[in-house]
């Protein structure tokens, strides 16, 4: 029995360095995600203004029964981002299969981007907890032996990993929550334009 418990102790303590390395990687990933989120926010601001000009133009064209000038629409779209490409694909076809494929591709791309936040939400606190529990055994052993210096060092590692893990999870949750709301708005707009196209309400110029 003592052999088994000693083996478990050696395995758990041996995991401390890999756990700390993973936490460093997750922290760097969270900073990159935060930077990408800021860039997406700037693009989103421009995107919203241009989209507010674009949707009324489509509605006006619907009422007048005039053909949609795709060059004018392209000028109103934001830079060549995922939403713009999907919207152009929706406007550029009346085939129901192609329309559904454009929306499915957009939804899949959004899910892939949201997965980064999901990973940080789950992995950050998980590895933070591991980094907290692993040094506790040496800390308690140091306390029992009267080695307060060793106990303090291990407790410092435990608290530090907890903070980093929670911070990583918080950044992931913040990014995931806001981006999910953005993507839902984009999907609603794409589905609205898709319905206009499928109903034959929007006529496109012949290229």
Give tens-digit pLDDT for 12-32: 777 888 899 999 999 999 999
Residue 36 reports pLDDT greater than 50: yes
Q: What percent of the chain has pLDDT over 90?
A: 26
For residue 202, what pLDDT is reported?
45
Contact 125, 169 (CB under 8 A): yes
Q: What is the pTM of this model?
A: 0.79
Higher pLDDT: 112 or 79? It is 112
Q: How far is CA 47 from CA 4, 35, 81, 175, in A?
A: 60, 18, 9, 18
Length of the chain: 207
Q: What confidence tens digit (pLDDT) does each residue in 190-206 have?
A: 888 777 776 654 454 43
DSSP 139-186: HHHHHHHT-HHHHHHHHHHHHHHHHHHHHHHHHHHHHHHHHHHHHHHH
| Residue 90 to residue 195: CA distance in whole angstroms | 10
Q: How many CA atoms lie within 13 A of 52 on its CB side?
A: 6
**Which among 40, 26, 36, 35 has a CA at the least distance from the CA of 169?**
26
Of the chain, the percentage scoring pLDDT greater than 70 comes to: 77
33 alpha carbon, distance to own chain's centre: 7
Q: In this predicted model, which residue has the larger pLDDT, 150 or 64?
A: 150
pLDDT digits (tens, 9 = 90+) for 88-144: 777 766 666 777 888 888 888 888 889 989 999 999 999 999 988 888 877 777 777
Is the separation of the CB atoms in 182 and 113 below 8 Å? no
Domain chopping of the chain, boundaries: 35-200
């Amino acid at each position: 029995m003592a052999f088994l418990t000693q083996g478990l102790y050696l395995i758990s303590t041996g995991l401390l360095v890999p756990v700390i390395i993973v936490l460093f990687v997750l922290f760097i990933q969270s900073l990159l995600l935060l930077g990408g989120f800021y860039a997406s926010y700037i693009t989103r601001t421009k995107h919203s203004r241009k989209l507010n000009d674009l949707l009324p133009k489509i509605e006006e064209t619907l009422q007048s029964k005039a053909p949609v000038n795709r060059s004018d629409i392209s000028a109103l779209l934001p830079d060549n981002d995922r939403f713009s490409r999907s919207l152009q694909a929706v406007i550029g076809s009346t085939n129901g299969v192609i329309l559904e494929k454009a929306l499915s591709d957009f939804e899949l791309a959004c899910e892939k981007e949201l997965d980064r936040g999901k990973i940080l939400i789950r992995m950050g606190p998980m590895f933070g907890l591991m980094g907290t529990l692993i040094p506790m055994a040496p800390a308690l052993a140091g306390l029992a032996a009267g080695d307060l210096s060793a106990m303090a060092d291990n407790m410092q590692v435990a608290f530090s990993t907890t903070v980093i893990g929670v911070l990583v999870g918080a950044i992931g949750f913040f990014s995931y929550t806001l981006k999910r709301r953005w993507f839902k708005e984009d999907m609603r707009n794409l589905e609205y334009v898709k319905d206009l196209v499928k109903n034959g309400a929007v006529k496109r110029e012949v290229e």
